[in-house]
Structure 1
Amino acid sequence: MTDAIASPTTFLGGGTAAVAVIDCATNKYLHPVCDGWAFWTTIATISGMIFVSAILAGMLMGYMSLDKLNIMILTMEGSDVEKAQARRVLPLVDQSHRVLVSLLLINYVGLEALPIWLNRLVPEGTAIAISVTFVLFFGEILPSAVFTGNHQVAIAAHLAPLCRFVMLVTAPVSWPIAKALDHFMGDDNDIVRYRRNELKALIALQQTATTSPTAAASTRGMWGLPSWTHDEIATTWGSSPVSDHTTDLLDDEVTIINSALDMSTKCVRDIMTPFEKVYMLDQERRLDRALMAEILACGYSRIPVFAGHRHNIVGILLVKRLIVADPRAKKPLKDLVLRKPHVIPPTMLCYTMLRQFQLGRGHFALLAENAAYVQACWDAQLPIDPTKASFVGVITNEDVLEELIQETIQDESDTRDLTLGKIVSDSHRTQLREAGMNRALKQFRAMAARARNRLSIRRRRGSSLDNTSGTLSKKTSIESMTTRSATSSERTPLIDK
């Protein structure tokens, strides 16, 4: 064995060759010529360390940056592939401290050993520089970009078996450390829950730029209501349903969601109609044509009826039941069937009121400061003392729904007076109400005349049918008697006189 080995070098230009002499005895670093097997084994070990460090560093950042709430959402509402991936990742997210300790142990063992192995090839300063460079680019930057990208959950799911293997290998060390972290640092597996304002802000961030007809109506009709053409509505709302995979929310969706969150903090006092603005009737008033026209002109389906003073409410008049009432009888309202309304305190929450309406307790409720006293007076059929209990307002099912959707529900019974309430004077509203009552009275008289004509026609038809049926029955009986007599004469033998 020689102390020096000549290593010939042939240049591309040809002609001459330079011979490099390497002294293997004095060379303290591995060289492929002197120590071929050891040199290439060291290169392979260093490459493996860098690769393992990159994988473990990427797994560490990938698993630690996963949100448990998002993973649980994928397990419930994701596609079949996403659900399977989320189920494989969720147990590891639940053990975040143990995953952290296990991956860090293996990773930092490799990072600390990398300069030692590089020092077998190059000097110490060069080994540190190469180690820092490779760890920075191949062990931090590149893995972080890959493992926290768009396919983060998919990569984490595929590497879940490797993570479990690392946790198993390092269990004697990682398990006690993880338990100590859980004890002193607290469990890090809780779901991040949003406050109401944060949730509303999160929903607003997903709001689409498309404006709904309610928010973007720039043109309005003669009664102050939005006016759109068919093309405008089709353009705004679209001609097809929104896909489940769409991330944008429509303006109306955001409005309703925000209103649903706000309604839990509102009581019925905030959305009620004040009691002084409630249309009411005295029970002594007689139901004639003028009163029926007034009731039809007001446009309400339920009207409170009082006795003596407005706070002594005795019941609710259902307007739809007047279809069978005869205005010619002129009965007082107290003789009609009045329904006892639902009485509630004004501090009741809106959602509680909505549940009461859903239970079938009517669509109308009275708000009283002492609701129990009012109910006791009704049960005992006693008058209500306004000094002990006073009504503050009324609320309907429509009021709650309007608060939920943040829009006014206009139906065919709404009067123009309600729509024009903010743009016309009180005298003009009074004139409109009187004109509406006159129109309703004329329509009611016309309807009554048509009903009487139809009834008289039916009566005449019924009497004529009765006469015809009586004649036919008499004729049928005579024919049957004639037939029976003829039959009996045929069967009787002749008698000779």
Structure 2
Amino acid sequence: MEDRIDGIEIAVVDCSKYLHPSCDEYAFWVCIGTIVGMLLVSAVMAGMLMGYLSIDKLNILILTMEGSDVEKAQAKRILPIINQSHNVLVSVLLVNAGALEALPIWLNRVVPETTAILISVTFVLLFGEILPSAIFTGTYQLAIASALAPLCRLVMLLMSPIAWPIARVLDALIGEGNDVTRYKRKELKALIRLQQSLPQALELAESLPITNPVSPAASVASSSASVSPGTCTDLHKEEVAIIHGALDMSNKTVNDIATPFEDVFMLDWEAQLDSELMVDILACGYSRIPVFRGHRANVVGLLLVKRLIVIDSDVKKPIKNLTLRKPILVSPDLGCYALLNQFQRGKGHFALVTEQGPYIEACWKANIDVDRTQATISGIVTIENILEELLQEEIQDETDVVDSCTGHGNSERRRARLREAGMIRAAKVFKALAARARRRLRLRPQARRSASQIAHEATPLLTPRATEL
């Protein structure tokens, strides 16, 4: 409404329709304060809704176990709230809906209806949706959610007469919705792969199959890169390979990693430990060698190479006179982790893979030979095979030569190479072991005897367990 005074048009507010400071200053500012309050309530409720419902419960549980002291306190404050996701959803939405519905009503007391709708939509979109969602789901999401936890509990308490029944109905219809995210093995492997630095992760994403063992050349190249301990969140290539190996090994059986039995280096029960056989044993590089009687399927025990430290090759002692240790008998479909548990319990580090384990064990107890038509041995598994599966690469030690001992067990050319490579090493090892034995025995000059004579007399008295030690 307009009025004219001395030729000047003056706008006059109709106090019967809209509030204005000129009409009722107190009521006007109360209305403006209420409008601002409605915007703030809407913004906080929208932010809380986005903030709490977008938090991953798995991440919160991880922080409660492995986070810093501040993160642990914040996570423990938030966890009870996100465990009631439907209750939070309904309670916050009720308050938010009330604020959004009341905002245009209060605006209409100050401005016309059309203007009130335009202002309400603009302010709600900007200050009630976009900014709260960006802030409450940003970098400080955990800290903000923790700080607003008391307010959220208060809202849930005030709205409980309405929100609690609705939340229970939602829980019954669609589930509670607060389960922890559980990854499949392939998803977990991909997640671990992405924990590498971004260039490495992108490179690996283009070549997904990395479960094959790394070649020795590649392992040497990768080991040349420094893998020093630190606080960096990126995982090294070696760490990713080991984690992948641990996950893959649960799906593998003993038969998948066993060395074929025809490629196994074995000793005859009737063989004598002369210098030539000693060289063959040391050149092979094994710490445990199966011993057979008559035919290869009739395994009677394991020769522990470390016991040869006190054996004089000049005596030519028969292998059958030594104390042999019985190997573990495992089924081909036994899991790799189950076999690892047997190794850890001290039952040995060498296993024969066979489906006729009870029959072979009965023959051992009765001290009779195994009938080759009744039992077959498909391969062997050692603790080194298990570790290689975990590490995803072959383990090369100082006794390994260019050709692996497990690859071509019946190759004459390989035996010649092993002999040539092991002759010098065997001589050095025997000299070093003899010197060490003399130092340890500490015999008096008047009663000194050779280590081989002591072993020859003491061997029948030693139990397998004592000799093992």
Equivalent position to 2:121, from 129, 132, 137 = 132
Equivalent position to 2:139, from 150, 157, 165 = 150
Check whether the contact 1:68–1:90 (CA below 8 A) recurs between aligned residues. yes
Structure 1 residues 88-237: aligned runs within 5 Å: 88-208=77-197, 233=224, 236-237=225-226
Check whether the contact 1:224–1:419 (CA below 8 A) recurs between aligned residues. no
Structure 1 spans left out of the alignment, 5+ residues: 9-15, 216-222, 464-497
Q: Report deviation, 1:383.
A: 1.0
- TM-score normalised by structure 2 residue count: 0.83
Change (3 A) 1:437 1:149: closer
Q: Report deviation, 1:382.
A: 1.4
Change (3 A) 1:34 1:416: closer
Change (3 A) 1:5 1:32: farther
Check whether the contact 2:85–2:176 (CA below 8 A) recurs between aligned residues. no
* Alignment partner, residue 265 of structure 1: 251
Rounded to whole Å, the distance in 1 between the matches of 2:433 and 2:151 is: 86
Q: Report deviation, 1:357.
A: 0.7
Rounded to whole Å, the distance in 1 between the matches of 2:186 and 2:354 is: 32
Larger Rg: 1
Structure 2 spans left out of the alignment, 5+ residues: 205-215, 448-469
- TM-score normalised by structure 1 residue count: 0.79
Q: What is the letter of the counterpart of residue 10 of structure 2?
A: A
Runs of 4+ in 1 over 6 A off after TM superposition: 4-8, 223-229, 419-422, 444-451
Q: Could you list the per-position Cα deviations for residues 357-408 of structure 1 after superposition, in whole angstroms to 9, with x for gaps in the alignment?
A: 1111111111111111111111111111122211000111111111110122
Structure 1 residues 186-335: aligned runs within 5 Å: 186-208=175-197, 233=224, 236-237=225-226, 241-243=229-231, 246-335=232-321
Change (3 A) 1:437 1:410: closer
Q: Report deviation, 1:123.
A: 2.1
Rounded to whole Å, the distance in 1 between the matches of 2:260 and 2:73 is: 56
Q: Report deviation, 1:445.
A: 8.8
Rounded to whole Å, the distance in 2 between the matches of 1:370 and 1:186 is: 50
Change (3 A) 1:341 1:419: closer
* Alignment partner, residue 388 of structure 2: 402
Change (3 A) 1:135 1:358: same
Q: Report deviation, 1:226.
A: 6.8
Change (3 A) 1:311 1:78: same
Q: Report deviation, 1:448.
A: 11
- The answer to whether residue 52 in structure 2 is matched with residue 73 in structure 1 is no
* Alignment partner, residue 22 of structure 1: 12
Check whether the contact 1:207–1:248 (CA below 8 A) recurs between aligned residues. yes
* Alignment partner, residue 420 of structure 2: 435
Rounded to whole Å, the distance in 2 between the matches of 1:444 and 1:131 is: 89
- Percent of pairs identical after alignment? 55
Rounded to whole Å, the distance in 2 between the matches of 1:21 and 1:445 is: 115
Q: Could you list the per-position Cα deviations for residues 218-275 of structure 1 after superposition, in whole angstroms to 9, with x for gaps in the alignment?
A: xxxxx9697679xx94xx215x5212xx321111111100100000000111111100
Rounded to whole Å, the distance in 1 between the matches of 2:72 and 2:426 is: 66
Check whether the contact 1:367–1:393 (CA below 8 A) recurs between aligned residues. yes
Q: Report deviation, 1:19.
A: 5.1
Which structure ranks higher in relative contact order (CA pairs < 8 Å, sequence separation ≥ 6)? Answer: 2
Check whether the contact 1:293–1:444 (CA below 8 A) recurs between aligned residues. no
Check whether the contact 2:263–2:406 (CA below 8 A) recurs between aligned residues. no
Q: Report deviation, 1:39.
A: 2.1
